[in-house]
Structure 1
Amino acid sequence: MTELDPAYERAIDDFPDVPEWHELGVEGARELEAELFSRGSGGPAETTELTVARLDGDGSIPIRVYRPSGLEEPAPALVFAHGGGFVLGTLDSADDLARRLAANTGSVVVSVDYRLAPEHPCPAGLDDVTVVVEWTVGSADELGVDPGRVGVAGSSAGANLAALAARRAEVSVSLAVLFYPMVDPTLGSASHEEHADAPLLTRADLDWFWRLYRDDGAIPVDDPRLSPLSTVGGEARPFADSPPTVVVTAGVDPLRDDGARYADALDDAGVSVEHLHYPDAPHGFLSLADTVPGAADAWDDLATAVLASR
């Protein structure tokens, strides 16, 4: 079994000694996620708080727009969906990632505060991300972005939503940037067992997250709204309709094989895909760039891959 880089071990040791996500319950896990990740730098950017109306008239979606200083208009844009197993995450806990994504890729980043399970199971979060993708293209002039260079990005569960939104949106999406995507609701890959007790995310956590997102299991695992790997029922478009994609995976992560399988499926369909794999890194490692040199180097790799894919 691949072992963690000692620098990641030291960074994780600095985290509070807490139970696994699923042992805390929904509210406890949300409080811990906010405490752990609403910190860090990420880099300077001008931010604007906005809301986007849902198409069904059921309220509005909070978003935060990040613009790095000196970025020329019209700029490329990435609509970003945070991680958290479809259950956790806020604009604040995703702030560090959104800032780094904007700074390292030279993009306007539109971070989406999508609805969370279990209060709002699948497909509520997906619907919200899709609406914001379409709104971003339609609001390109006001945002100072190029409507032909609007992509999606996401972390973990958010990478799932981003990949699906790129297919479902009624606009052209230029690029997808996916950090350790969570795309296998069956938990049937070898890495789910091999790294069942990995740091920061366990197989038991994944089982809990998927069950809540699936409306306590009422939504079948082959529902095409659950995963970009599924094409059951004809709702999900073929892989070939996906935009050029950059996939980042970590070796010491139960989601390692999720990302690899998705990258392989895109490649088999003829989609341009760049798979960046870091064998000795844990799930969520891009959030550790302040303290782990390997994570900072991975951001440089990501910037190069995004530039080549545009």
Structure 2
Amino acid sequence: MKYNIDPELRPILDLLPPFDLKEPQVMRATMDAMVAPANAELDTSGLDITDHKAPGAAGDPEVPVRVYRPANAAGALPGLVYLHGGGFVFGNLESEHATCVALCRNLGIVVVSVDYRLSPETAFPGPLEDCYAALCWTHAQRDSLGIDPRRLGIMGQSAGGCLAAATALATRERSGPTLCYQFLSIPVLDDRLDTPSMITFTDTPIWHRPNAEHSWDFYLGDNYQRGADNVPALAAPAREQNLAGLPPTCITVMEFDPLRDEALIYGQRLLAAGVSTEIHCYPGTYHGSSMVVDAALSKRGVADMFTALARGLCVDPQ
């Protein structure tokens, strides 16, 4: 094997379908088929799970959101706006259902999962505006949802990490709801694709440079060209010059992920800007390797995630 991938993370690679972003509809159908059986067997006991519609930005459609809350919980709880991954092209409320159930149950928090519009049908800024609208709705509905607004955070995975980082920038710029924390898991951040890992990892499992190129082209649409000087920071957060005033942050990266270096650089820049930042790089891993849930590295990553979120959201000890 070309890459020194952890032995526990290798066997699944022969079983996975091709991850090729050139055909969005095929990718969506493939992911839906993978997720459905697991969701059908998922234990959601002890949780109240409800679907809602948040008002979209002016002229935009409503944004579907799914709210997870511990049943019979008393008082205001920490809240977490959750943004799914999928290269801006696939993913939905179902794809992250199990993750949101685990976050709600293990941390005892309210999770608001956002079904933002996908590309290429909706290019930037549509998906970002959906995420910002969902954040504003969550804050506005804090009393009915039972959320403590002082403990409201945001989390995104992969492309959702890009949208989470961009939403944090947007709410800072627009004087919107205050975020106490952001968790950026294996985040997409930079359309320029010029880091060493992005240049080198052209054939890594699941995510590689060709997929990154398609992803950014779909997301930026006809208004912007990937790598051009005019791509705004709200599309590609790595382009933001001023990172001061952003919430405390945790960033996770995988060793054999083309996104690795842009995330590490962003974390270093946050630290330089005075933002308390925690960075985890997991050896022998690849983008999406956490789906091998029984692997020791995956278990370690989940434990680290819960620990960081509990600290960042000031979760009361159980």
TM-score (norm 2): 0.88
Q: 1:216 to 1:55 in 2, by over 3 A?
A: closer
Q: 1:46 to 1:4 in 2, by over 3 A?
A: farther
Of the three residues 119, 124, 127, the one matched with 1:125 is 127
Give CA-to-partner distance per residue, 1:151-173, whole Å, 9 cap, x none.
10000011110111112121111
* Matched ranges for 1:223-262 at <5 A: 223-231=232-240, 238-262=242-266
Give CA-to-partner distance per residue, 1:76-112, whole Å, 9 cap, x none.
0110110111111111112122222323433211000
State whether structure 2 residue 274 is matched by structure 1 residue 270.
yes
Q: Which runs of 5+ in 2 are unaligned?
A: 314-318
State whether structure 2 residue 287 is matched by structure 1 residue 286.
no
Q: 1:251 to 1:213 in 2, by over 3 A?
A: same
Of the three residues 76, 79, 90, the one matched with 2:78 is 76
Of the three residues 135, 159, 183, the one matched with 1:177 is 183
SS at the partner of 1:211?
A: helix
Distance 1:193 1:72 in 2: 50
Q: Answer yes or no: is the 8 Å Cα contact 1:2–1:251 preserved in 2.
A: no
Give CA-to-partner distance per residue, 1:162-213, whole Å, 9 cap, x none.
1111121211111101110001101111111332211111210110010111
**Matching residue of 1:105:** 107
* Matched ranges for 1:132-151 at <5 A: 132-151=134-153
Deviates more, 1:121-130 or 1:187-196: 187-196
SS at the partner of 1:11?
A: helix
Distance 2:291 2:210 in 1: 22
Give CA-to-partner distance per residue, 1:104-129, whole Å, 9 cap, x none.
43321100000111111001010010
Deviates more, 1:100-109 or 1:88-97: 100-109
Q: 1:58 to 1:193 in 2, by over 3 A?
A: closer
Distance 1:292 1:215 in 2: 38
State whether structure 2 residue 288 is matched by structure 1 residue 304.
no
TM-score (norm 1): 0.90
Q: Answer yes or no: is the 8 Å Cα contact 1:138–1:147 preserved in 2.
A: no
Q: Answer yes or no: is the 8 Å Cα contact 1:185–1:227 preserved in 2.
A: yes
**Matching residue of 2:24:** 26
Q: 1:144 to 1:272 in 2, by over 3 A?
A: same
Q: 1:69 to 1:198 in 2, by over 3 A?
A: farther
**Matching residue of 1:35:** 33
State whether structure 2 residue 224 is matched by structure 1 residue 218.
yes
How many residue pairs match? The answer is 301
**Matching residue of 2:316:** none
Q: 1:14 to 1:266 in 2, by over 3 A?
A: same
Distance 1:272 1:251 in 2: 23
Identical residues among aligned pairs (%): 32
Q: Which runs of 5+ in 1 are unaligned?
A: 233-237
Distance 1:216 1:279 in 2: 37
Q: Answer yes or no: is the 8 Å Cα contact 1:20–1:202 preserved in 2.
A: no
